[in-house]
Amino acid sequence: MPTSTFLSNAKVLIGTSSAATTDITDQVSSVVLTQSVDALEKTAMGDTARKFTAGLGTSSCTITVYASYASNESYAVLQPLVGAAAVYVKVNPTSAVDSATNPGFEISSSFLAQLPVINSNIGELATFDIELQGGDFTIDTSS
């Protein structure tokens, strides 16, 4: 049984490095950051079940962003990152400083292959999903 309650209000930073980020929290409606590794089979003759070991990391981050074309808003911030050699993203559970109870989940050197430029439905706020692929996953608990 859970011993604490987590109300989702994540802080999202994105840029080319940890020193060059933009806080896009107010333009994000959802974010999913996933740490994963490739499963490499190591089953040997005589084993009675398949066995695996960790391979390369394949972390990803999917962000749903409200579409805005004003300067310093979602499109202006994200468009230069498409195809960039290295994209950095950091997601914290809350807007508080990094700590053991509010870790900063980071992916550096990730890749943004595409940016939907418009996704419009009548009577709805326009959003688009971006997906950052690959990169180095780390957890920051220091303030």
Q: What are the pLDDT digits (tens) for 125-138?
A: 999 999 999 999 99
pLDDT tens-digit profile of 17-44?
989 999 999 999 999 999 999 999 999 9
- Short-list 99, 79, 102, CA closest to 16: 79
pTM above 0.85, yes or no: yes
Domain that holds residue 94: 11-140
Q: How many domains does the chain have?
A: 1
Residue pair 97/30 in contact by the 8 Å Cβ criterion: no
Residue 68 falls inside a structural domain: yes
Please report, for the domain that includes residue 90, its CATH number.
2.40.30
Residue 110 falls inside a structural domain: yes
| Identity of the residue numbered 91 | V
Residue 3 falls inside a structural domain: no
Structure confidence at residue 106 (pLDDT): 96
Residue 1 falls inside a structural domain: no
Percentage, residues of the chain above pLDDT 70:
94
Q: Give CA 24 to chain center in angstroms.
A: 12
| Identity of the residue numbered 61 | C
